[in-house]
Structure 1
């Protein structure tokens, strides 16, 4: 599966209550369960007016389908080409 970053424009996202965030998470998980194992939610980051999500999916269309079924936007979808981290700095290069 490929890794995708999804930007969701949601005005006031940073002010959502824990209960509202829980409800959004539950809706997302419910849709994912119905869609099957070809799409997975890894985690999300909530900011002022956006939620940035990390997903694994077989293709971008599954990301769009999940957003449509869940009733939340997927304003920008970006496929991740390569991941790096602090561990990259010390890894052996072949």
Structure 2
């Protein structure tokens, strides 16, 4: 199943409290349950003004549906074509 990187522009994201991040995570998980097992949240990276999320989903439409139902921005959705790391150079 394809993997996606979602860029969410959220001003002040890096200043969100642990409680707020927990609330956002809980909302995301509730929407994921509604949408069914075909979409999975892998993890997210919080920066100063953005959150980058990694999802596994059948298509971009499903990722965007999750964002819409959860009230989350999805400013950019890109399918991961391959993964590289330092061992790729060997």
TM-score, normalization by structure 1: 0.92
TM-score, normalization by structure 2: 0.95
Structure 2 portions without partners, runs of 5+: none
Q: Report the CA distance between 1:42 and its aligned residue.
A: 0.3
What secondary structure sits across from 1:88 in the alignment?
helix
- 1:4 corresponds to: 4
Runs in 1 of length 4+ with deviation above 4 angstroms? none
- Structure number with greater Rg is 1
Cα distance in 1 for partners of 2:86, 2:18 equals 31
- 1:56 corresponds to: 56
Structure 1 portions without partners, runs of 5+: none
Alignment RMSD: 0.8
Question: How many residues were matched structurally?
Answer: 90
